């Protein structure tokens, strides 16, 4: 997972650092490590993914060991440890959504984007993957796109095509 070539230097913008400062204020004295998950989200929203260097910088910011950041970032499914497409389309693949056609949506994504799950399209715009239940089972099939996690419900193939078209031409 943590490869040497992923060591390019990173800079955190002043606005990102300001967000870090707001986050750590939410916890009692000495408990700033609680800010790790929200800080990882904010960092990923700015940089697109979490490189080793970015994680090391976060560790330094929170004054914790690097490994404390790696083990958290690798445990949770929302953190990307390698570069992704600009739009990561995450389709719910769990039971209730499958009852109403989620598997067809994933097949359709693979065909229309021309990449397998987890891969990035050659223009760098898209990747897609199946994720577990997104707490919207009554409105399935559903798909979300980070970093704001915009939600698309009651999908069918045509709606997916329109969405891809809109994002391509944005």
Locate 55 and state its tokens.
């994680």
Q: Measured on CA atoms in the order 71, 79, 64, 26, is the torsion positive or negative?
A: negative
Q: Is the peptide bond before 147 cis (omega within 30 degrees of 0)?
A: yes
Which of 96, 101, 130, 146 forms a contact with ligand FES (CB under 6 A)? 96
Q: Which is nearer to another protein, 7 or 65 (CB)?
A: 65
CA distance 114 to 95: 25
Does residue 92 interact with ligand FES by CB under 6 A? yes
The strand pairing partners of 120, in sequence order, are 127
- Count of Cβ atoms closer than 10 Å to residue 116 Cβ: 10
Distances in Å between the alpha carbon of 117 and those of 12, 114, 132, 135, 166? 30, 10, 14, 22, 21
Total of residues contacting ligand FES (CB under 6 A)? 12
Does residue 140 interact with ligand FES by CB under 6 A? yes
Q: Which stretch binds ligand FES (CB under 6 A): 41-49, 76-84, 128-136, 147-155?
A: 128-136
Cα atoms in the Cβ-side hemisphere of radius 13 Å centred on 60: 8
CB 23 within 8 A of CB 42: yes
Token pair 């707490």 is found at 135
| Interacting residue ranges for another protein, rule: CB under 8 A | 26, 28, 31, 33-38, 40-41, 62, 68, 71-72, 75-79, 93-96, 98-100, 131-140, 144, 146-151
Binding site partner of 130, from ligand FES, another protein, none, Cβ cut-off 5-8 A by kind: none
Q: Which is nearer to ligand FES, 114 or 138 (CB)?
A: 138
Q: Cβ 140 to another protein, closest distance in Å?
A: 7
Q: Which stretch binds ligand FES (CB under 6 A): 15-23, 64-72, 77-85, 132-140?
A: 132-140
**Which stretches of the chain bind ligand FES, using CB under 6 A?**
92, 94-97, 133-137, 140, 142
């Amino acid at each position: 997972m943590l490869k040497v070539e992923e060591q390019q230097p990173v800079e955190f913008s002043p606005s990102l650092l300001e967000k870090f400062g707001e986050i750590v204020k939410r916890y009692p004295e000495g408990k700033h490590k609680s800010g790790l998950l929200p800080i990882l989200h904010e960092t990923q929203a700015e940089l697109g993914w979490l490189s080793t260097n970015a994680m090391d910088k976060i560790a330094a910011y929170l004054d914790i060991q690097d490994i404390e950041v790696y083990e958290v970032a690798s445990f949770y499914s929302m953190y990307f440890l390698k570069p992704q497409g600009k739009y990561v389309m995450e389709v719910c693949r769990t039971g209730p959504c499958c009852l109403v056609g989620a598997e067809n949506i994933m097949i359709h994504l693979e065909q229309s984007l021309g990449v397998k799950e987890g891969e990035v399209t050659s223009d760098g715009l898209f990747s897609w993957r199946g994720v577990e239940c997104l707490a919207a089972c009554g409105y399935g099939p559903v798909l979300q796109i980070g970093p704001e996690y915009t939600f698309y419900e009651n999908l069918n193939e045509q709606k997916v095509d329109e969405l891809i078209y809109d994002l391509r031409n944005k």
